[in-house]
Amino acid sequence: MAEGQLSINLATLRNGASFGEMVDACLAAGVTAIAPWRDQIASVGLAEAARIVRANGLRVTGLCRGGMFPADSAAGRQAAIDDNLKAIDEAAALNADCLVLVVGGLPGSSKDIVGARQMVSDGIAAMLPHARAANMPLAIEPLHPMYAADRACVNTIGQALDIAAQLGEGVGVAIDVYHVWWDPDLAAAVARAGREGRILAHHICDWLVPTRDMLLDRGMMGDGVIDLKSIRAMIEAAGFFGPQEVEIFSRDNWWKRPSGEVLATCVERFETVC
Protein backbone atom coordinates (compact mmCIF):
# COMPACT_ATOMS: atom_id res chain seq x y z
CA MET A 1 0.00 0.00 0.00
CA ALA A 2 1.21 3.46 -0.89
CA GLU A 3 1.81 5.36 2.32
CA GLY A 4 2.35 8.83 0.92
CA GLN A 5 -0.31 11.35 0.13
CA LEU A 6 -2.60 11.18 -2.87
CA SER A 7 -3.32 14.37 -4.79
CA ILE A 8 -5.82 14.79 -7.60
CA ASN A 9 -4.98 16.96 -10.55
CA LEU A 10 -8.37 18.37 -11.41
CA ALA A 11 -7.82 17.70 -15.14
CA THR A 12 -8.69 14.15 -14.10
CA LEU A 13 -12.24 15.29 -13.38
CA ARG A 14 -13.08 17.15 -16.59
CA ASN A 15 -16.58 15.71 -16.68
CA GLY A 16 -18.42 19.01 -16.43
CA ALA A 17 -18.18 19.40 -12.65
CA SER A 18 -17.57 22.87 -11.21
CA PHE A 19 -14.54 23.67 -9.08
CA GLY A 20 -16.64 23.52 -5.92
CA GLU A 21 -18.18 20.21 -6.95
CA MET A 22 -14.74 18.76 -7.68
CA VAL A 23 -13.45 19.84 -4.27
CA ASP A 24 -16.50 18.37 -2.56
CA ALA A 25 -16.01 15.09 -4.42
CA CYS A 26 -12.34 14.98 -3.41
CA LEU A 27 -13.16 15.62 0.23
CA ALA A 28 -15.89 12.96 0.13
CA ALA A 29 -13.27 10.51 -1.18
CA GLY A 30 -10.85 11.45 1.59
CA VAL A 31 -8.57 13.34 -0.78
CA THR A 32 -7.15 16.54 0.72
CA ALA A 33 -4.63 17.55 -1.93
CA ILE A 34 -5.47 18.91 -5.36
CA ALA A 35 -3.82 20.50 -8.37
CA PRO A 36 -6.17 22.82 -10.25
CA TRP A 37 -5.86 24.33 -13.71
CA ARG A 38 -6.01 28.06 -14.27
CA ASP A 39 -9.26 27.88 -16.23
CA GLN A 40 -10.86 26.02 -13.34
CA ILE A 41 -9.68 28.70 -10.92
CA ALA A 42 -10.86 31.48 -13.23
CA SER A 43 -14.30 29.93 -13.53
CA VAL A 44 -14.95 30.47 -9.82
CA GLY A 45 -12.64 33.44 -9.31
CA LEU A 46 -9.22 33.42 -7.69
CA ALA A 47 -10.36 34.84 -4.36
CA GLU A 48 -13.20 32.36 -3.99
CA ALA A 49 -10.96 29.47 -5.07
CA ALA A 50 -8.35 30.50 -2.50
CA ARG A 51 -11.08 30.75 0.16
CA ILE A 52 -12.29 27.22 -0.68
CA VAL A 53 -8.74 25.90 -0.48
CA ARG A 54 -8.10 27.53 2.89
CA ALA A 55 -11.49 26.72 4.39
CA ASN A 56 -11.03 23.04 3.63
CA GLY A 57 -7.38 22.80 4.57
CA LEU A 58 -6.48 21.61 1.10
CA ARG A 59 -2.91 21.23 -0.05
CA VAL A 60 -2.36 22.50 -3.59
CA THR A 61 0.41 20.37 -5.06
CA GLY A 62 0.75 22.56 -8.12
CA LEU A 63 -1.04 25.07 -10.28
CA CYS A 64 -1.35 24.09 -13.94
CA ARG A 65 0.03 25.78 -15.82
CA GLY A 66 2.46 28.41 -16.89
CA GLY A 67 4.84 28.11 -19.81
CA MET A 68 4.16 28.25 -23.56
CA PHE A 69 7.11 30.60 -24.03
CA PRO A 70 8.08 30.29 -27.72
CA ALA A 71 6.42 32.73 -30.09
CA ASP A 72 7.37 34.00 -33.51
CA SER A 73 7.58 37.64 -32.42
CA ALA A 74 9.13 39.51 -29.53
CA ALA A 75 5.67 40.82 -28.65
CA GLY A 76 4.35 37.29 -28.52
CA ARG A 77 7.16 36.16 -26.25
CA GLN A 78 6.58 39.14 -23.96
CA ALA A 79 2.86 38.38 -23.82
CA ALA A 80 3.72 34.85 -22.68
CA ILE A 81 6.01 36.20 -19.97
CA ASP A 82 3.33 38.65 -18.79
CA ASP A 83 0.83 35.83 -18.52
CA ASN A 84 3.34 33.74 -16.59
CA LEU A 85 3.80 36.56 -14.09
CA LYS A 86 0.05 36.46 -13.44
CA ALA A 87 0.24 32.69 -13.06
CA ILE A 88 2.86 33.12 -10.34
CA ASP A 89 0.49 35.42 -8.44
CA GLU A 90 -2.35 32.94 -8.79
CA ALA A 91 -0.19 30.08 -7.57
CA ALA A 92 0.92 32.18 -4.60
CA ALA A 93 -2.68 33.09 -3.75
CA LEU A 94 -3.49 29.37 -3.65
CA ASN A 95 -0.34 28.64 -1.63
CA ALA A 96 0.60 26.07 -4.26
CA ASP A 97 3.69 23.92 -3.87
CA CYS A 98 4.81 25.02 -7.35
CA LEU A 99 3.74 26.52 -10.64
CA VAL A 100 3.92 23.83 -13.30
CA LEU A 101 5.46 24.95 -16.60
CA VAL A 102 4.52 23.28 -19.88
CA VAL A 103 7.08 25.14 -21.86
CA GLY A 104 5.65 25.20 -25.40
CA GLY A 105 6.76 23.81 -28.74
CA LEU A 106 7.82 25.24 -32.08
CA PRO A 107 6.46 28.74 -32.70
CA GLY A 108 4.53 29.46 -35.89
CA SER A 109 5.98 27.55 -38.83
CA SER A 110 9.42 27.24 -37.27
CA LYS A 111 11.51 24.09 -37.59
CA ASP A 112 14.14 25.41 -35.20
CA ILE A 113 13.78 23.34 -32.04
CA VAL A 114 17.13 24.54 -30.70
CA GLY A 115 15.88 28.10 -31.03
CA ALA A 116 12.60 27.23 -29.36
CA ARG A 117 14.51 25.75 -26.45
CA GLN A 118 16.44 28.98 -26.09
CA MET A 119 13.15 30.90 -25.98
CA VAL A 120 12.09 28.63 -23.14
CA SER A 121 15.24 29.32 -21.13
CA ASP A 122 14.92 33.03 -21.81
CA GLY A 123 11.26 33.03 -20.79
CA ILE A 124 11.86 31.24 -17.52
CA ALA A 125 14.78 33.56 -16.79
CA ALA A 126 12.50 36.55 -17.34
CA MET A 127 9.85 35.33 -14.89
CA LEU A 128 12.26 33.96 -12.31
CA PRO A 129 12.85 37.14 -10.28
CA HIS A 130 9.11 37.50 -9.69
CA ALA A 131 8.80 33.81 -8.83
CA ARG A 132 11.61 34.09 -6.32
CA ALA A 133 10.07 37.22 -4.77
CA ALA A 134 6.78 35.33 -4.43
CA ASN A 135 8.61 32.29 -3.07
CA MET A 136 6.93 30.21 -5.77
CA PRO A 137 9.01 27.35 -7.21
CA LEU A 138 8.78 26.88 -10.96
CA ALA A 139 8.41 23.23 -12.00
CA ILE A 140 9.51 22.53 -15.56
CA GLU A 141 7.53 19.51 -16.69
CA PRO A 142 9.35 17.61 -19.43
CA LEU A 143 6.67 16.26 -21.75
CA HIS A 144 6.85 13.08 -23.77
CA PRO A 145 8.79 13.56 -27.03
CA MET A 146 5.58 13.07 -29.02
CA TYR A 147 4.63 16.59 -27.87
CA ALA A 148 7.94 18.20 -28.88
CA ALA A 149 6.44 20.04 -31.86
CA ASP A 150 3.26 21.44 -30.41
CA ARG A 151 3.36 21.43 -26.60
CA ALA A 152 6.79 21.20 -25.05
CA CYS A 153 10.27 21.16 -26.52
CA VAL A 154 11.69 20.08 -23.15
CA ASN A 155 11.38 16.31 -23.30
CA THR A 156 13.61 14.67 -20.73
CA ILE A 157 14.37 15.16 -17.07
CA GLY A 158 18.03 15.62 -17.91
CA GLN A 159 17.23 18.43 -20.31
CA ALA A 160 15.03 20.16 -17.72
CA LEU A 161 17.79 19.83 -15.13
CA ASP A 162 20.30 21.38 -17.51
CA ILE A 163 18.01 24.40 -17.87
CA ALA A 164 17.48 24.57 -14.12
CA ALA A 165 21.21 24.38 -13.48
CA GLN A 166 21.75 27.28 -15.84
CA LEU A 167 19.06 29.39 -14.17
CA GLY A 168 19.82 28.66 -10.53
CA GLU A 169 17.56 28.63 -7.50
CA GLY A 170 13.79 28.55 -7.74
CA VAL A 171 13.50 26.20 -10.71
CA GLY A 172 12.93 22.45 -10.57
CA VAL A 173 11.15 19.64 -12.34
CA ALA A 174 7.75 17.99 -12.23
CA ILE A 175 8.23 14.29 -12.92
CA ASP A 176 5.22 12.77 -14.65
CA VAL A 177 5.55 9.06 -15.22
CA TYR A 178 3.59 9.28 -18.47
CA HIS A 179 6.22 11.51 -20.01
CA VAL A 180 9.39 9.87 -18.74
CA TRP A 181 8.77 6.14 -18.18
CA TRP A 182 10.47 5.16 -21.46
CA ASP A 183 13.68 7.13 -20.82
CA PRO A 184 16.72 4.82 -20.83
CA ASP A 185 18.42 7.35 -18.52
CA LEU A 186 15.46 7.57 -16.14
CA ALA A 187 17.10 6.16 -13.02
CA ALA A 188 20.19 8.33 -13.40
CA ALA A 189 18.14 11.42 -14.22
CA VAL A 190 15.86 11.01 -11.20
CA ALA A 191 18.86 10.48 -8.95
CA ARG A 192 20.49 13.61 -10.35
CA ALA A 193 17.27 15.58 -9.82
CA GLY A 194 17.32 14.55 -6.18
CA ARG A 195 20.99 15.36 -5.69
CA GLU A 196 20.41 18.78 -7.17
CA GLY A 197 17.34 19.40 -5.01
CA ARG A 198 15.05 19.92 -8.00
CA ILE A 199 12.15 17.49 -7.60
CA LEU A 200 8.98 19.52 -7.08
CA ALA A 201 6.18 17.17 -8.11
CA HIS A 202 5.42 13.53 -8.91
CA HIS A 203 2.56 12.92 -11.32
CA ILE A 204 1.05 9.53 -12.00
CA CYS A 205 -1.27 7.83 -14.49
CA ASP A 206 -0.53 5.01 -16.95
CA TRP A 207 0.44 4.37 -20.58
CA LEU A 208 -2.20 2.34 -22.37
CA VAL A 209 -1.48 -0.19 -25.14
CA PRO A 210 -2.81 0.70 -27.60
CA THR A 211 -2.93 4.45 -27.03
CA ARG A 212 -5.78 5.69 -29.22
CA ASP A 213 -5.20 9.44 -28.95
CA MET A 214 -1.88 11.19 -28.47
CA LEU A 215 -3.28 13.67 -25.95
CA LEU A 216 -6.52 12.40 -24.44
CA ASP A 217 -6.06 8.67 -23.87
CA ARG A 218 -4.04 8.39 -20.70
CA GLY A 219 -4.76 5.44 -18.48
CA MET A 220 -5.70 4.89 -14.85
CA MET A 221 -2.83 3.60 -12.74
CA GLY A 222 -2.61 -0.15 -13.19
CA ASP A 223 -4.32 -0.25 -16.59
CA GLY A 224 -1.12 0.22 -18.60
CA VAL A 225 2.52 -0.72 -18.79
CA ILE A 226 4.27 1.75 -16.49
CA ASP A 227 6.06 0.22 -13.52
CA LEU A 228 4.74 2.81 -11.07
CA LYS A 229 6.23 1.26 -7.95
CA SER A 230 9.70 1.21 -9.46
CA ILE A 231 9.55 4.83 -10.51
CA ARG A 232 8.17 5.81 -7.09
CA ALA A 233 11.08 3.98 -5.50
CA MET A 234 13.52 5.95 -7.66
CA ILE A 235 11.87 9.23 -6.70
CA GLU A 236 11.81 8.39 -3.00
CA ALA A 237 15.42 7.20 -3.14
CA ALA A 238 16.17 10.63 -4.57
CA GLY A 239 14.65 12.19 -1.46
CA PHE A 240 11.20 13.26 -2.63
CA PHE A 241 8.31 11.94 -0.55
CA GLY A 242 5.67 14.46 -1.61
CA PRO A 243 2.19 13.60 -2.82
CA GLN A 244 1.66 11.50 -5.93
CA GLU A 245 -0.63 13.58 -8.10
CA VAL A 246 -3.01 11.76 -10.41
CA GLU A 247 -3.33 13.48 -13.78
CA ILE A 248 -5.40 11.60 -16.35
CA PHE A 249 -6.58 13.09 -19.64
CA SER A 250 -9.16 10.58 -20.83
CA ARG A 251 -11.80 11.96 -23.13
CA ASP A 252 -13.47 8.67 -23.98
CA ASN A 253 -13.29 6.89 -20.63
CA TRP A 254 -12.68 8.60 -17.30
CA TRP A 255 -13.97 12.01 -18.33
CA LYS A 256 -17.30 10.34 -19.06
CA ARG A 257 -17.65 8.99 -15.54
CA PRO A 258 -18.96 10.67 -12.36
CA SER A 259 -16.31 12.23 -10.12
CA GLY A 260 -17.10 9.85 -7.26
CA GLU A 261 -16.39 6.80 -9.37
CA VAL A 262 -13.18 8.26 -10.78
CA LEU A 263 -11.93 9.24 -7.33
CA ALA A 264 -12.80 5.91 -5.74
CA THR A 265 -10.81 4.20 -8.47
CA CYS A 266 -7.86 6.58 -7.99
CA VAL A 267 -7.86 5.88 -4.24
CA GLU A 268 -8.06 2.12 -4.72
CA ARG A 269 -5.32 2.05 -7.35
CA PHE A 270 -3.14 4.39 -5.33
CA GLU A 271 -3.33 1.91 -2.46
CA THR A 272 -2.60 -1.13 -4.59
CA VAL A 273 -0.40 -0.38 -7.62
CA CYS A 274 1.43 2.90 -6.90
Span 197-226, contacts to its own copies by CB under 8 A = 207, 209-211, 214, 224-226
| Residue 244 · residue 5 · CB < 8 Å | yes
In the complex, least distance from residue 107 CB atom to its own copies, rounded to whole angstroms: 11
In the complex, least distance from residue 247 CB atom to its own copies, rounded to whole angstroms: 18
Under rule CB under 8 A, residue 159 binds its own copies = yes
Q: Name the nearest CA neighbour of 69 among 152, 132, 134, 128.
A: 152
Q: Which is nearer to its own copies, 13 or 235 (CB)?
A: 235
Span 90-129, contacts to its own copies by CB under 8 A = 106, 110-113, 117
Q: Which is nearer to its own copies, 227 or 271 (CB)?
A: 227
Q: Which is nearer to its own copies, 110 or 253 (CB)?
A: 110
128 CB-near residues (< 8 Å, 6+ apart): 138, 167, 168, 170, 171
Q: Give the three-class secondary structure for 184.
A: coil
Under rule CB under 8 A, residue 57 binds its own copies = no
Rounded to a whole number, what is the distance in angstroms from the first to the last CA of the chain? 8
Under rule CB under 8 A, residue 11 binds its own copies = no
Judged by CB under 8 A, which of 149, 167, 191, 216 binds its own copies?
149
Under rule CB under 8 A, residue 29 binds its own copies = no
Under rule CB under 8 A, residue 146 binds its own copies = yes
Query: What letters, b where the CB count within 10 A reaches 16 and e where it falls short, cover 127-159?
Result: bbebbbebebbbbbbbbbeebbeebbbbbbbbb
Angle 209-213-218 from CA coordinates, rounded to 5°? 60
The residues that touch its own copies, with contacts defined as CB under 8 A, are 106, 110-113, 117, 144-146, 148-150, 153-156, 158-159, 181-184, 207, 209-211, 214, 224-227
